[in-house]
Amino acid sequence: MAHTCIHWFRKGLRLHDNPALLAALRDCKVLYPLFIVDPDCTYGGNNRKRFLLGALKDLDCSLRKLNSRLFVVTGKPEEVFPKLFKEWNVTKLTYEYDTEPYSLNRDSKVTALAKEHGVEVFYKVSHTLYDMDRIIEENNGKTPLTYKSFQGIVKRLGPPKKPIPAPVLGDMKDVKTPCSEKHDEKYGIPTLEDVGVDDTSLSEELFPGGEQEALRRLDEHMSRTGWVCNFEKPQTSPNSLSPSTTVLSPYVAFGCLSARTFWWRLSDVYRGKKHSDPPVSLHGQLLWREFFYTASVGIPNFNKMVGNHVCTQVDWDTNAEYLAAWREARTGFPFIDAIMTQLRREGWIHHLARHAVACFLTRGDLWISWEEGQKVFEDYLLDHDWALNAGNWQWLSASTFFHQFYRVYSPVAFGKKTDKRGDYIKKYLPVLKKFPEQYIYEPWKAPLSVQRAAGCIVGQDYPRPIVEHEVISKTNIQRMKQAYAKSSQNKSESPIKKTASSESPVKNKGVKRKMTSIADMLVKKKSKGEVS
């Protein structure tokens, strides 16, 4: 049967390594590549919206080279699809599988609607290296809670599948996409103004969205063979003036770059050479992503404290003033404020910088719930990813996975390790740029004469520290200790365990997975031969 097919782009905003797209082209006579701007879907702040629109423009450009185009519509998918099924006489729908709870719920609704309209649905796993359900299945139905145990599972599964090439004109010779000038008006890509973004408020776009930019950056990094082979994430700098890592994470998060393509390009570079290994290598970073994705699939309420049975229940404070000061870079600690300024302005910060500000907000200084920090990162980060954001915030607040709560990042000393002169602070907080080196991290300690000479009076031109770190951090360590003690009373095993290093999560018993009815509907891929 020759199908009229919609390929529904969501996160996989690319042509390369897109098995669901190639599935759409099989037995297809008419193809409608579709993106739905879903009002219920979180697209984040202005930087992320700009990145998304750039990715859509790039995707449309690539499709037009194949004599096709991207159709963009706005609305709830469950309301959009019935209309399009009828209007376009659709018989097949394809998409890339998504594991987020919202996405599973959305896709179950769309699948039911497709069935009502006689539309065949086909999806493939390609946003991750592995099928998360397969990993849990391989672990006797339990969710692995340590990176080490996760490594053992994927080692048994073998390397990820190799990526498939992007479709070419030859693949499209018998496939047509209806295109007309009217379509540009009806199905064109929204402008920044359309999505509520004032472009005058945006700073320079350092990381443009799109598959072509992703592949260009990948090529650029892979040409640095020595750097790639010697890469160790903990040895990179959180406050270098230019990124000390690849910054490919936004492209992987949006699916402009396939994780499998990234993995195998790294394998090509590594081959025959001495290189670093997981967890600190670049392969290791991709496996961290898989680890948190697996946890997010197997642990109910993964992005919440309450109802998350692997998360330590902590009586966090509610302090709107502290939260706003942290979010708006007004804590009075230049290293923290510089990081938060970079995050708000550019949409990206180094992973160790994330560690510093997350620890400061939660268990280190302000004692505010990691859920609040999670919301801010969701808004600001270009590379926001539901599973990784929730997993990392639990880790950094010492709520789940990592439990060395007594190891607190200093908002002063930590930044000095890699930037003694404070050049990073001067870049993002120019109000402090004239402070002498010895006061740049602690301007409140500078004599008034020095502050006047620097043109910045602390408490007037730049805020005083919101807390006294040396005092409050010790208090919070005791509060965390009490939370752990209380938590251990309800568990057969105390969560307080020492780990071999800060790079390895605490060893804990795996959690038996409890599948939801929605997941049951969508995860039974094997029976239909739909496992990628």
Q: How far is CA 37 from CA 43, 177, 187, 487, 521, in A?
A: 9, 20, 11, 42, 24
Cβ proximity of 319 and 366 under 8 Å: yes
**Block residue for tokens 């006797």:** 140
**What's the pLDDT score for residue 191?**
94
In sequence order, the β-bridge partners of residue 6 are: 32, 93
CA distance 227 to 151: 24
Annotated binding site: 245-249, 285-292, 383-385
Annotated binding site for FAD: 245-249, 285-292, 383-385
Q: Taking all residues of the chain, what is their mean pLDDT, rounded to a whole number? A: 92
Beta strand 511-512 with 142-143 is antiparallel
Q: Which CATH number fits domain 320-469: 2.60.40.420, 1.10.579.10, 1.10.1060.10, 2.60.120.10?
A: 1.10.579.10
CA distance 240 to 258: 27
Tally of residues, the chain: 532
**What's the pLDDT score for residue 529?**
35
CA distance 55 to 75: 19
**What's the pLDDT score for residue 2?**
87
The interaxial angle of helices 211-222 and 259-270, nearest 10 deg, is: 20
**pTM of this prediction exceeds 0.75:** yes
Q: What tens digit of pLDDT does each residue of 481-504 get?
A: 999 999 887 764 444 443 333 333
**What's the pLDDT score for residue 181?**
79
DSSP label at 364? I
- SS3 state of residue 93: strand
Neighbour tally for 268: CB within 10 Å: 10
Q: What tens digit of pLDDT does each residue of 126-136 get?
A: 999 999 999 99
CA distance 104 to 252: 20
Cβ proximity of 130 and 157 under 8 Å: yes
Q: What tens digit of pLDDT does each residue of 412-467 get?
A: 999 999 999 999 999 999 999 999 999 999 999 999 999 999 999 999 999 999 99
**What's the pLDDT score for residue 41?**
84
**What's the pLDDT score for residue 183?**
87
On the question of pLDDT at 522 being above 60, the answer is no
Q: What is the mean pLDDT of residues 81-106?
A: 97
Q: What tens digit of pLDDT does each residue of 154-165 get?
A: 999 999 999 999
Q: What percent of the chain has pLDDT over 90?
A: 87
Q: What tens digit of pLDDT does each residue of 326-382 get?
A: 999 999 999 999 999 999 999 999 999 999 999 999 999 999 999 999 999 999 999
Predicted confidence band at 518 (pLDDT cuts at 50, 70, 90)? Answer: very low
On the question of pLDDT at 508 being above 70, the answer is no
**What's the pLDDT score for residue 491?**
65
Cβ proximity of 279 and 287 under 8 Å: yes
**What's the pLDDT score for residue 470?**
97
